[in-house]
Structure 1
Amino acid sequence: MYDFSKSPDPALIQSYDGAWKWLSEAGRLEIELGPKGDWPSVHLKPSSGRWDLGNCAVVGADVWNTGTETSRIGLRVDNPEGNGHGNCVQTIQEIPAGEHRRLEVEIRLCHKVLHELTGMRGKPEEIGGSGSTWRRLNDPSNVVRALVFAVGNGKKHTVEVGNIVASGERKPERYNPKLAGDAFFPFIDQFGQFIHRDWPGKVKDQQDLEGRLKDEMTDLKANPGAEDWNKWGGWESGPTLKATGFFRTEKINGWWWLVDPDGKLFFSYGMDSVTEVADTPVTGRESWFSWLPPKEPRFKGCHNSWTRAPGNEAYRDRPFDLVDFGLANVIRKYGPEWREEHAERTQLRLRSWGVNTIGNWSRPEIYLMRKTPYFATVQAGGSDIVGGKDDFIRFPDVFGSAYEAKLRKAFEKHKGQAAGDPWCVGFFVDNELRFGLDDRSLGAAVVSSAPQLSTKQEMIRLLRAKHDTIEALNGSWKTGFESWDALLANRVELTEEQLKDTQSELSKDLRLVTSMVVDMYFKTARRIMKEFAPDNLYAGSRFMGGRGRNDLVERIAAKYCDIVSYNVYAMVVDGWEYADFDAPIICGEFHFGALDRGMFHGGCRLVESQLVRGEKLKEYVDSAFRHPRFVGCHWFKYRDQMSTGRTLDGENYQVGFVDVADTPYIETVSASRQVGYGMYNRLAAIRNPLGK
C-alpha cells in the first residue's frame, strides 16, 4: 500500500493537526500529531484512487515512538464513507517512548443484520455482529485511505512509520444467513451458553457440568499455591518490617509497598466481583432462552425484578424480570450446599491461581471466610450535580447533610464485618465518579446547579469572600448577574466561548470551586471511613484511568487517600499518565477478552485468543511490578458476564477467569499461576527491597 523506501507523493498525504516528513535513509515516514485535536491524524491515499484488498486478512505497519512520553497510536483503513465508527477498521496501541510496536488491523466485512437484539453490547457475528457497519468495511476492494492517528491528550506525539502492507488471506467469517427468521431462536442454552457455536470447554449436559468438579479438584491439589507466601499472601521469605496487625503502606528504596499484618511485604494481585452472579433481563426476550430456572425453592434467588435499569437501553424506563444463570449453574453444579461448597472452591481457586486479594464488588460470604485478604466496597455517590462544560459530570452534593448521612449508613453495614477486620486491606468508596474532563469542569457544573444544593450555596460563600461584590465578580467573569441571589438561582451553563480562555479569571475561579468540592469529597469520605475502620486503609474512589481524569483532582485525592486507586484499561501501565504526587497507587480494574469461546464482546481490551489473553495478563502485571508507585492490580472480573447482557447496562464481556457455567479458562489460569507463584522473586529482582 505504501513503500517508504521511495519518496511518497505529497499530493496524496493530508495532515489534520499533524505534519509529516519522509526519512529517506530509514525508509520511514516521520509523523508529528497534535497537540490541539482530539484525533490528530495523517491521511494517506492510494495513487490509483483505491486499494483492492480483496481477500487480505490484515493491514499492518511498524511504528516507533520517537517522542518522550507514551502515546496511543492508531492505524485505520477506510471505505469512502469511513468516519471512525463505520465503514472502517482500526486498531490502537499504547507505545511507550523509545519503543516499537507492530500495528495490525484485521479486515472485517459489513453484513446485513439478521436480528436486532437489544440490551446487550456485543452481538453474535453469525447474525451480523454488533451492527451493519461498526468498525467493518463494506467493500474491501474499495479502500480509499489509510490513517495514522493519535488519541489526543493536548500533547505532541512523534512517531516513525514503516511500510503499510496488506497481507494474509482472510479467514471465513461466522456470518450465517440461514439464521434469519425463527431458525435463530432460541439462541441461549440451559447453561447460558450460545447455541449456534461450539468451542473447547462448552458444557454439554448436567453430567458434564457435575463431572468438572472432580477434574478441577485434581488440578487444584496439584497446584495448591505459591510456596513463598504466608497465610496473607505476603512474602514469607522476604524482609520482616514493623507488624501492626493490619495492612499498611511503606516506601522502601523509592518503591511503594503494602505490608501485611505480620510485617511482610505484600503486593495485591487481586480479582474483582468474586461471586456467582451472572444475571440478565428476560422480559420481552423469553424466546431467546431454551430454558429458564423453574420458580421453585431449589432455584431461590435466580429470579428477580427491577423497576428500571437506567444504564440499559432496553430497560431504561420500564420494569422487568431478570434471571441469574450464574447462580443457577452453581446450584446445579455444587448441589444443595452450593453456597458453602462454591465459596470453599472459590478460596481454593484463588490460592491455586496465584491470586492473593479479593477485590471490589465481591460476595461478603466469600471474603468474610477470612482466608484471602480483601477490599470492601462502599457506594455513596450521587448525581446531584450534573452536566458541566463537557457534560461529563455526575457528582453528589458533598456539602449536604444527606450525603454524609448516606455515607455513614453505607459504612454502618460493615460494622462487625469488614470494618476493623485484619483481613480487610481497605475500603474503596465509590467507583469512576465523573469529576469532569479538566480541572474546571466540576466548578462549571456547580455554577449551573440547583440553588437548594448545599454545594452551590458553599460556592457563593467562597466567591463572595474573594470578590466581595457581585459587580467585582461580573467584572472578572465578564458576566451580568444582578445579584448573588441571581448567581445562586442560575441554571444556565457557561458557554464554550466563556470557557475558551483557560487562564481567564473565570477559569481560575472555576478551579477554586472544583478544588473546594473535591477536597470536601475526599476529606468527608476519609473522616467517616476512619470513624468506622481506623486501622483499615482508605483506597479512594477508583478514578477512570483514561478519559475523565485530571491532575488537580488526583493531587487532592493523594492528600487524603492511603492508596490512590485507578481503573486502568491499557495493555501495560508503562507510560500511563497520572498526576505528580508521591503516594501508593492500586489498579482497581484491568482485563483482556477474546471471542474464541462463544462470547460476543471482548471487553475493554480485545485480543486474538485465550492464549494471547494469558500472555497479556502477564505483561500487564509485570508492568505494574516495574512501576514504583503500584502496590497492586486487580483483574475485572471473576466470572464472565451473560452473553445476553448484564442487567445493569448490557455489558456481555468475556473477561472472567471462569465462564458462566463455572468452568475455568485454563490458559488464563496458567498465566495467572506464573504471575503469582513467581511474584515476589520478580519483585525482588526489580525493586531490590533488601538493598543488595
Structure 2
Amino acid sequence: MLLPFTLEPDVLLGGISRENDPTPIFDAVWYNAGAVNDGLAYSFAVGTLAGARYLTADLLLDGDDAGVFVLEMQEGESGPVFQFFFSLLPEASARMRIPLDSVHQNRWLYDREAAWLKPRVGGQRVDLRRVDRMRLLVTRRGDTVTRWCMTPLIVTAAEPLRLAQPILRKGCLLDALGQSTLRTWPGKSRDAQEVTTRLHNQLRDAPLQQWPDGFTKWGGWTYRTFDATGYFHTHWDAEGERWWLVDPEGYAFWSAGQDCVRPAIDASAAGLESALTWLPDDTDAEFATIVTHDGDALLVDYLQAHLMRAFGPNAWHAAWSNITLAELRRTGFNTVGNWSDWPVASDAGFPYVRPLVPLADPKAPLIFRDFPDVFDPAFEADAARFAEQLAETRDDPALVGYFLMNEPTWGFAEQTPAAGMLFNMTTNASRRALVDFLRERYGDPASLSRAWELDTTFEAVAKSAWDAPLNEAAQTDLADFSAIMVERYFSTLSAACRAVDPNHLNLGARYYSVPPDWCLGGMRSFDVFSMNCYEARVPADSLKAIHEALKLPTLIGEWHLGAMDVGLPATGVGPRVRDQVARGQAYRVYLETAAAIPWCVGVHHFTHYDQSALGRFDGECYNIGFLDICHRPYDELVLAARQSHRRLYPVALGEHKPFGDAPEYMSRLFF
C-alpha cells in the first residue's frame, strides 16, 4: 500500500459509542467510553505497516480529567502484543506522533509534546512485517464518561509536523497563579496578595517549628542507642530482630523523608503558550528567571514567581529555605529526600540523601535502553568518573547516603537486558561475553541450536542482527546471563563509589518495584536495598524475602497518594482516595505499617509540592504534594503526618500498633 494512507476503525470495542455531533477538529469523530478497555479496533493485511515510520492522529479530550490510552499492535490473533501508552491533557487538542521503530522496545519513554503526555512503550516486541491488527483502548479514566474526538489514523513514511497551535475550547488552562482554570475548589487561592501574605506568615512562624518530642538533633530516637561512627550507618538489632539506620551520634534512626524538596514546580508549556493566562514578557523583567528553555522545552515556574513576589529577587531563596526546613520539622519529616535542593539541608545539618547524576559522556556504549556495556573496557573508567561527584559530600555527617540511579528503564521491559541487547545491538563486548557464557554451557553450536530450537552459531549470537524468536530455553539462558550483567554493573559502580566515599551508605538503584530474581541477586553490593512502592501498604513478605536474599534492609524511595478534589487532572501512581482527609488516613496507614516491618528502615514520600496542572516535563500532573502551587499546605494531610511521625519510633519498636483505619481506595488515574 502506498504511503501515506489512513486507517478507520472497523469495530467498536466494549460499550464505546460514536457521536455525530460537530467536532472542533476537522474530520474528527466523537467517542464516548464508559469503562476501561472500551476502544476502537483496526484490521488490515499482514505487513501493511512494514516500511512505514509513523502513526499520527489529532485528538481532543473533553472534560476536566486527564485520560490514558494505549495503542496495541499485534501479530495475528494470538501473537505478541506491543503497547504504546499516552495520556491527553483535557480541553487542549493534541497530535499523536508514534514512531513505529518503538516496536523494537529499545526506548521506554518518548518526549511529551504539548497536550500529548508521557508517551511510552510496554508489552512485547513485534515485527511490523507480521502485524495485522491494532486496538486503541481507554486504559485509565476518571469517574465520568471518557469523551474524546479524533481523526482517522494516518500511516506515513514522513515524520508528521508537530501541532502548531492547540485548540483550547475553554480558553486558558492555567490562571495567573498557575492554578487550573477548569475547576474550582475550597482553598483555591484568589490572588497574588493572598499567596504573599501566606508566605510571610510561614516565614514569621518558621523559628517556632520543632521535631516531635524524643527526636535527637538528627531526627533519631533518644530512647534507643547503638554504636556511634560519626556518620549514618545500618545496624541489625539481633535483640529486637529488626533493621535500623543509626544517626551519627549512635541513636536509632528511621527515615521519614520527603522527595523533591526544592523551590520549583515546572509547568511544561512548549506548544501550550496560549494556554497560559500569564507568561512573563519584556515588561516583567524581574520574573525572567521563572522561564527556562531547554532544547525544545519551555518551562514556567509559578511557585518561584510567588516567592520572588513575596521576598524579592535576592532574598527569596533564603526565605524559602527557612520556611521549608521549618515545615518539614513541623510535620515531623527527618530526611530531605531525592531530587531536592540538598545543599540547603547540608548547610543546616538536616539529614538528606542525594542522587548521583549520570555521566553526560560515557565511553562505554548503551546496549539496551539505559543499560551500559559492562564488559566494555571503558566501563570501569566510566564508573570511576561517575563516582567522583561524591567527593564534595564525603565528610558531611548530615548525608545519610546516595542513590546510584532511579528506576532504570531496562527494568520496565518484558525483555531481559541480554535479550534486549540481542535484538537491538550487533557486536559489542557484552555480546562476546554472552558467547563465552553459552559456549561454556553448551559446548558446541549444535547443542545450542537444539536447546534454542533454531539453526544458529556462536558467531551469530556474537554479532548478527538478531530477529529470530526466543524459546523458553533461550529466555532462561539470557536471564541467567542478565544476572551476571547486573551483578557486574552494580558491583563496579559500588566499588568505585566506596573508593571515593567510604563514609556514607550506598542506597542502591531505586528499582521501580520488587525486582525479578535474575536482577535481585546483583544488588548485594549495596548497603541498603531501595525500591519505589506505589501500593496502599509496603509488602512485608517481599521485604522479608529481600532481607533473606541480600541480608540488607529496604528503603522505599517513592510513594504517594492522590485525590481529585484540589484542581489537578490526575491523582498519581499511588492509590487514589476521595479527598485530602482520606489522603491523611492513607498516609498514616502506609507509614505506620511500614515502620512496623522489621526489614524496612524508611519511606520517602514523593513529592513535597503538587505537580503543575499543565504537567511537568513528561506530562505528569498529579495531586501528590504536601503543599499546592501557591504554597498552601494541605492541613488534613499535615495533621495526619504529624500524628504518625510522633508515633513512628514506638510503632517501629512494637510498643504501639500501626494505624489501621484505611480509607476507601478508588481506581487510579495516572500515566
Alpha carbons 1:438, 1:550 under 8 Å: kept: no
3-state SS of the aligned residue for 1:560?
A: coil
1:343 to 309, 321, 342: 321
Indicate the residue corresponding to 1:638 in structure 2.
608
Report matched runs for 1:107-126 at 5 Å: 113=62, 121=87, 123-124=89-90
Q: How many Å separate the matches in 2 of 1:118 and 1:672?
A: 30
Asked if structure 2 preserves the Cα contact closer than 8 Å seen for 1:420 and 1:532, the reply is no
CA–CA distance in 2 between the matches of 1:214 and 1:80?
A: 47
The 1:223–1:128 alpha-carbon spacing in structure 2 relative to 1, beyond 3 Å, is farther
Shift of 1:217: 4.8
Shift of 1:81: 7.9
- The change in CA–CA distance for 1:686 and 1:80 in structure 2 (over 3 A counts) is farther
Structure 2 residue 462 is the aligned partner of structure 1 residue 488: yes
Q: Are 1:454 and 2:429 an aligned pair?
A: yes
Amino acid at match of 1:400: D
What's 2:229 paired with?
Answer: 244
Q: What SS is found at the alignment partner of 1:631?
A: strand
* CA shift in 2, pair 1:227/1:217, >3 Å: farther
CA distance in 1, matches of 2:334, 2:310: 25
The structure-2 alpha-carbon separation of the partners of 1:400 and 1:662, relative to structure 1 and needing over 3 Å to count, comes to: farther
Letter in 2 for 1:430: M
* Change in 2 beyond 3 A, CA 1:631/1:470: same
Cα deviations by residue, 1:138-190 (Å, 9 ceiling, x for unpaired): xxxxxxxxxxxxxxxxxxxxxxxxxxxxxxxx999999xxxx98662123111
Equivalent position SS for 1:540: coil
User: In percent, how many aligned pairs have the same letter?
Assistant: 28
What is the CA-CA distance between 1:121 and the residue it aligns to? 4.6
Q: Deviations over 1:105-149 (max 9, x none)?
A: xxxxxx97279999995645x8999x9xxxxxxxxxxxxxxxxxx
| CA displacement at 1:642 relative to structure 2 | 0.9
Shift of the 674–402 alpha-carbon distance from structure 1 to 2, 3 Å rule, reads: farther
CA contact (8 A) 2:530 2:555 kept: yes
The residue aligned with 1:328 is: 305
What is aligned with 2:559? Answer: 590
Is the 1:429–1:541 Cα contact (8 Å) retained in structure 2?
yes
Shift, 1:584, TM fit = 0.1
Find out whether 1:613 has 2:583 as its counterpart: yes
CA contact (8 A) 1:448 1:491 kept: yes
The one of 540, 553, 562 equivalent to 2:508 is 540
Q: How far is 1:671 from its partner?
A: 1.3
* Residue 564 (structure 1) aligns with: 529
Matched, 1:653 2:622: yes
Asked if the contact 1:588–1:633 (Cα under 8 Å) also holds between the matched residues in 2, the reply is yes
Shift of 1:328: 2.1
- Other structure's SS at 1:368 match: helix
Equivalent positions of 1:500-519 (< 5 A) are 501=472, 504=473, 506-519=474-487
Instruction: Check conservation: 1:400, 1:454, Cα contact below 8 A.
Output: yes
Residue in 2 that maps onto 1:677 = 646
Distance 1:686 1:454 in 2: 55
Q: Which amino acid aligns with 1:332?
A: R
* More moved, 216-225 vs 597-606: 216-225
User: Does the 8 Å CA contact 2:32/2:146 hold for their aligned counterparts?
Assistant: no
Does 1:215 find its partner at 2:185?
A: no
- Structure 1 residues 577 and 306: alpha-carbon distance in aligned structure 2, compared to 1, 3 A threshold: same
Partner residue in 2 for 1:385: 367
- Matched residue, 1:476: 451
CA distance, structure 1, for counterparts of residue 436 and residue 319 of structure 2: 58
Match of 1:521 in 2: 489
8 Å CA contact 1:545, 1:566 repeated in 2: yes
Determine if contact 1:439/1:511 at 8 Å carries over to the other structure. no
Give me the TM-score of the superposition, normalised by structure 2: 0.70
Q: 1:493 offset after TM fit, Å?
A: 4.3
Matched, 1:573 2:538: yes
Give the CA deviation at 1:528: 1.1
CA contact (8 A) 1:431 1:542 kept: yes
Q: Hey, what's the Cα distance between the residues in 2 that align with 1:510 and 1:280?
A: 42
Q: Deviations over 1:196-232 (max 9, x none)?
A: 4332332222211111024335665665221211111
Aligned with 1:375: secondary structure? Answer: strand
Moved over 6 A (4+): 79-83, 114-120, 126-129, 170-175, 180-183, 437-440
Q: Which residue of 2 aligns with 1:442?
A: 417
Task: Note the alpha carbon deviations across 1:631-675, whole angstroms, 9 max, x for none.
Answer: 00000001111111101x111111011111222111111111112
Q: What amino acid does structure 1 have at the position aligned with 2:585?
A: E
* Secondary structure of the corresponding residue to residue 528 of structure 1: helix
The answer to whether the 8 A contact 2:207-2:326 is kept is no
User: For each residue in 1:346-395, what CA deviation from the matched residue of structure 2 results, as whole angstroms up to 9, or x when unmatched?
Assistant: 11111111000011111133232243211110143898233xxxxxx652
Summarize the Cα distance change of 1:294–1:227 in structure 2 as closer, same or farther, 3 Å threshold: farther
* Structure 1 Cα separation of the partners of residues 65 and 202 of structure 2: 38
Matches within 5 A, 1:91-102: none
Shift in alpha-carbon separation, 1:632–1:373, aligned structure 2, 3 A: same
Cα distance in 2 between the residues matched to 1:677 and 1:376: 25
Aligned to 1:186: 172
Please name the residue that 1:155 is paired with. Answer: none
Q: What corresponds to 1:32 in structure 2?
A: none
Name 2:520's counterpart in structure 1: 554
Give the match for residue 399 of structure 2. Answer: 424
For residue 339 of structure 2, the aligned residue among 353, 361, 382 is 361
User: Matches of 1:414 and 1:570 in 2, distance apart?
Assistant: 32
Specify whether residues 300 and 455 from structure 1 end up closer, same or farther in structure 2 by C-alpha distance, changes over 3 A only: farther
Structure 1: which 5+ runs fail to align?
1-49, 51-78, 89-110, 132-169, 308-318, 387-392
- Confirm or deny: 8 A CA contact 2:371 2:410 kept in the other structure: yes
| Number of residue pairs the alignment of both structures matches | 519
Task: Choose 419-428 or 113-122, whichever is displaced more.
Answer: 113-122
Q: Which structure 2 segments of 5+ residues have no match?
A: 1-14, 16-30, 41-59, 69-85, 97-141, 148-165, 658-671
Deviations 1:58-109 (A, max 9, x none): xxxxxxxxxxxxxxxxxxxxx9987733389xxxxxxxxxxxxxxxxxxxxx
Match of 1:400 in 2: 376
Closer, same or farther: CA 477–115 of 1 in aligned 2, 3 Å: same
Per-residue displacement from partner, 1:4-40 (whole Å, max 9, x unpaired)? xxxxxxxxxxxxxxxxxxxxxxxxxxxxxxxxxxxxx
SS in 2 for 1:380: coil
Give SS of 1:413's match: helix
Deviations 1:322-343 (A, max 9, x none): 2222322222233231111111
Matched, 1:85 2:37: yes
Distance in 2 between the 1:409 and 1:437 partners? 27
Give SS of 1:524's match.
helix
Q: Look up the equivalent residue of 1:399 and give its one-letter code.
A: F
Any conservation in 2 of the 1:430–1:541 contact (CA below 8 Å)?
yes
Matched, 1:302 2:278: no
Which 10-residue stretch deviates more, 508-517 or 253-262?
508-517
How many angstroms apart in 2 are the aligned matches of 1:328 and 1:663? Answer: 15
Native 8 Å contact 1:380 1:407 kept in 2: no
Give 2:83's aligned residue.
none
Alignment partners' CA distance in 1, 2:395 and 2:565: 43
Indicate conservation of the 8 Å contact 2:266/2:300, yes or no.
Answer: yes
Deviations 1:222-269 (A, max 9, x none): 652212111110002x12211001111111132111011110000000
Which is worse superposed, 296-305 or 450-459? 296-305
